[in-house]
Amino acid sequence: MKVFVYHTPEEVPEGNLPDCAIAIDVLRATSTMAAAFNVGAESIHVFSDLDELRTKSDACPADKRLLAGERGGAKVEGFDLGNSPLDHTQERSHGRHLFMSTTNGTRCLQRIQQAPVVITAALTTRQAVVNFVLQQNPAEVWLVGSGWQGDYSLEDTVCAGAIVHQLAAQLGSDLKTLAGNDSAIAAVSLYEQWQDSLLELLQCASHGQRLLGLHQEEDLKYCAQLDVLDLVPIQSEPGTL
């Protein structure tokens, strides 16, 4: 197995695909997707265009759907939910089909959606993702951070590093053998530096700062938790988990 880390969707090489592609948006899209499935959401349909989302969601009965969307960190007007993992409770999300649009997480997922296996990862699901990858044993894995408008995000790269670190430990492999590119080794170094203070790292990160400015302290605390959810969101068809 070779594991490649790409800090942003823009870094992903054109023209080839891995056996397994993993989208990461710790703050907050992939943390929120895992939180929704954890309370029994039926499916998540991901859109970049809000009008397309509204049109497609019309085909789903109103009591079975939830419209969830964020622009600039804030809820889209007229939608049921924004992009907070804490929005998802049993009462609200169980049995519902989510129609979701976020700025960077959506773009990341769409960039890799043609790979044969596509999953999402967050710090909350790190161990479940590692177990899934070990069970599938793909020859080539890509971990792709969503970043922020084309820029590197600390929180996505530290999550990629946490996954590579754990894969290496469980495979009994050294990084030289497992890492497909230098970014994978750098991501592990970032994780090893911050593994005991992930919340502090999220609070230092530029998007963490942005969310703190929007009074989302509890979201940062939630998203900084490691290995608390035993599930892996898997793409069933492009754009749907």
In the complex, the residues that contact ligand 3SL under the rule CB under 6 A are 25, 27-29, 70, 73, 83, 102-105, 146, 211
Rg from Cα positions in the chain: 17
Q: Which residue, 98 or 167, has its beta carbon nearer to ligand 3SL?
A: 98
Residue among 180, 217, 10, 1 at smallest CA distance from 108: 10
How far is residue 80's CA from residue 64's CA, in Å, rounded to a whole number?
12
Residue 28 CB, nearest approach to ligand 3SL (Å): 4
Task: Name, in order, each residue with C-beta under 8 angstroms of 6's C-beta and a sequence gap of 6 or more.
Answer: 12, 142, 143, 144, 145, 183
Q: Which residue, 4 or 219, has its beta carbon nearer to ligand 3SL?
A: 219
Report the relative pairing of strands 65-71 and 74-75 from DSSP bridges: antiparallel
How far is residue 225's CA from residue 198's CA, in Å, rounded to a whole number?
8
Q: Which residue, 158 or 211, has its beta carbon nearer to ligand 3SL?
A: 211
Residue 185 CB, nearest approach to ligand 3SL (Å): 26
Q: Which residue, 72 or 172, has its beta carbon nearer to ligand 3SL?
A: 72
Task: Name, in order, each residue with C-beta under 8 angstroms of 99's C-beta and a sequence gap of 6 or more.
Answer: 45, 47, 53, 56, 57, 60, 65, 66, 67, 68
Residue 70 CB, nearest approach to ligand 3SL (Å): 4
Report the relative pairing of strands 140-145 and 20-24 from DSSP bridges: parallel
Residue 140 CB, nearest approach to ligand 3SL (Å): 25
Q: Which residue, 179 or 211, has its beta carbon nearer to ligand 3SL?
A: 211
Residue 126 CB, nearest approach to ligand 3SL (Å): 18
Residue 195 CB, nearest approach to ligand 3SL (Å): 22
Q: Which residue, 108 or 232, has its beta carbon nearer to ligand 3SL?
A: 108
Task: Decide: 56 and 99 in contact? Cβ < 8 Å.
Answer: yes
Locate 234 and state its tokens: 């898997």
